[in-house]
Amino acid sequence: MTLTMAALLLGAGTLAGIVNAIAGGGILFVLPVMLASGIGPVSAAASAAVAVVPAHAIAIVAARPAVGERRMGIARSAVIAAAGGIAGALLLLATGDRIFRSLVPFLILLATLAFAFGPRLAVALRQHGGRERPVAAGAFEFVVALYGGYFGAGLGVLMMAALALLGVDDLRQANWMKNVLATIISAVAVAIYIAGGAVAWSQTVVALAGALAGGYIGARLVVAVPAEWLKRGVVAVGVALSVYYFLN
């Protein structure tokens, strides 16, 4: 790995950490640099996921004072999240580089659409909660967890939509639950990536160091930088990356 590539990975990780601390979607900044570093697409996706994994855990601690004791109903969702995350990670390892490379532009486009329209979807679903349709709501929750274990970009906004379908009306509670479930999904997926030998550690350690530093910086900027601005920036980056990978 050259010094230039190390600098790019460090910068991408730092930017990802800042974005994750405020709006989410940091993996979209790390994945392209991982791919450019010369490792295979599956290894790039696994390595990017490991590099940004602290983001959701940090968010849990940050949100705890606002949530208090509103933690009801999370045990069932935690089991579904773990099962979906495991299934998604195993599916990624089984996909292979050739197939995953062809899926990259579609996955980035899906993540971009999630950031663009996920909040509106969550609002719409919250008005028609899924307490009367627990099977359908649980199935959607599993699909979101599977996606999170497979790719992960946009997981937070999709999980908010799943919680809205489950009938979680309190936004603060939903946000805390989203971070807990996303942490579970990321943790089990990362464990499988590591066990499967899919992580390129030299690239990952550099990006992870940047992500940790960026997370600290983002936590300090969260009151100064409007999350909506960063979300629009993530969407713009996602559109540009989708076009690039579709054309290449």
pLDDT digits (tens, 9 = 90+) for 212-233: 888 878 777 766 666 677 777 7
What's the pLDDT score for residue 72? Answer: 53
**SS3 annotation, the chain:** CCHHHHHHHHHHHHHHHHHHHHCCCCHHHHHHHHHHCCCCHHHHHHHHHHHHCHHHHHHHHHHHHHHCCCCCCHHHHHHHHHHHHHHHHHHHHHHCHHHHHHHHHHHHHHHHHHHHHHHHHHHHHHCCCCCCCHHHHHHHHHHHHHHHHHCCCCHHHHHHHHHHHCCCCCHHHHHHHHHHHHHHHHHHHHHHHHHCCCCCHHHHHHHHHHHHHHHHHHHHHCCCCCHHHHHHHHHHHHHHHHHHHHHC
CA–CA dist 148, 154 (Å, integer): 8
Chunked into runs of 10 residues, the chain (248 residues) has average pLDDT values of 92 88 80 93 94 72 51 78 96 93 90 80 65 72 93 82 76 77 91 95 94 81 69 82 86
What's the pLDDT score for residue 244? Answer: 87
What's the pLDDT score for residue 227? Answer: 67
pLDDT digits (tens, 9 = 90+) for 139-182: 888 999 999 999 988 787 888 888 877 777 777 777 778 878 88
